[in-house]
Amino acid sequence: MNDLPVIDLRMGDDAATAIDEACRSRGFFVVTGHGVSLDLVADLDACARAFFARPDAEKEPIAMRHGGRAWRGWFPLGGELTSGRPDQKEGLYFGAELPADDHRPMHGPNLFPAEPAELRGLVLRYLDELTALGHRLVDLLDRGFGADGRLSSLVADPLVLFRIFGYPAGTEGWGVGEHTDYGLLTILHQDESGGLQVRDGDTWTDVPPLPGSFICNIGDMLEKATGGVYRSTPHRVQNTSSRYRVSMPFFFDPGWDARVERLIEDTPTGVARWDGADPHLFDGTYGDYVWQKVGSVFPDLR
């Protein structure tokens, strides 16, 4: 895994220590022994490929512009921006299934296609299983860092966001440009095609897939909470595969109204980033932070 730590979650307290060490050194780690159904992962991957293979006209009924403030649905190839440049991917945006009268941005009901009909059930099952895994991982982060429950309190009512991305073979340019994630923790399933790269100083390291595992990385708000002891590591996706690539990032983030404060004092602050931003300087709720970020990803929708 090119030196990324591989951590078996069945190790108990040793897993908490290993995750803490990984977050201090790399900001990325790989988990096994996670308990998520591998059959579910495989079925969801196959169902997503079946959806992406359909003509765009059949996907249009669930386009994101129909999702309103819930920010759910499908976007076409090149429809999402990273650092102002179109990504070479298409995708589906999902989140926790909530009532239509939940008027918070990025909350509400999902949009599902008529075909393949089984996508709805698979996505909802996956949301349940990954939410449980997210709570388990944040508990381990809390114990490893010695946060005395303060990290876990940020996800008492988490913002749960789930994406399925499809990267056509043979496209030019970056699948996803250099970026960091916004929230607390990302749990990623990538298929056998690879393509994920993690920044390590001035170099980029490939992260090949390990069957049956999830790749985890920390986001801007966990960097802020730990005062920079944990770093939100930049990463990107390079289109190099001759096969259609599917990846499924799951974002387990602070609650919409949660305020992320530094847990300890006298620690390093942020380092210079490609975008000139410093999440340590942000003062507000996580909803404020993520809403301004996603607005730059889909400026037409905003």
The three state secondary structure string of the chain is CCCCCEEEHHHCHHHHHHHHHHHHHCCEEEEECCCCCHHHHHHHHHHHHHHHCCCHHHHHHHEHHHCHHHCCEEECCCCCEECCEECCCEEEEEECECCCCCCCCCCECCCCCCCCCCHHHHHHHHHHHHHHHHHHHHHHHHHHHCCCCHHHHHCCCCEEEEEEEEECCCCCCEEEEEECCCCCEEEEEECCCCCEEEEECCEEEECCCCCCCEEEEECHHHHHHCCCCCCCCCEEEECCCCCCEEEEEEEEECCCCCECCCCCCCCCCCCCCCCCCCHHHCCCEHHHHHHHHHHHHCCCCC
Q: Which of 37, 34, 40, 50 is nearest to 246 (CA)?
A: 50
Q: Is the dihedral of CA 132, 73, 117, 38 positive or negative?
A: negative
State the pLDDT at residue 271: 60
pLDDT at 268: 56
CB count in 10 Å sphere of residue 22 = 23
Domains of the chain by range and CATH?
A: 6-297 (2.60.120.330)
Q: Which amino acid is at 228?
A: G
Nearest CA to 286 among 215, 178, 185? 185
Q: What is the pLDDT of residue 298?
A: 79
Position 3 scores a pLDDT of 78
pLDDT of residue 1: 45
Q: What is the residue-level pLDDT of the chain in tens, covering all 302 positions?
A: 457 999 999 998 999 999 999 999 999 999 999 999 999 999 999 999 999 999 999 999 999 999 998 999 999 988 888 777 888 899 999 999 999 999 899 999 999 999 999 999 999 999 999 999 999 999 999 999 999 999 999 999 999 999 999 999 877 667 888 889 999 999 999 999 888 999 988 889 899 889 999 999 999 999 999 999 998 999 999 877 778 999 999 999 999 999 999 998 755 555 666 677 788 888 999 999 999 888 888 777 76
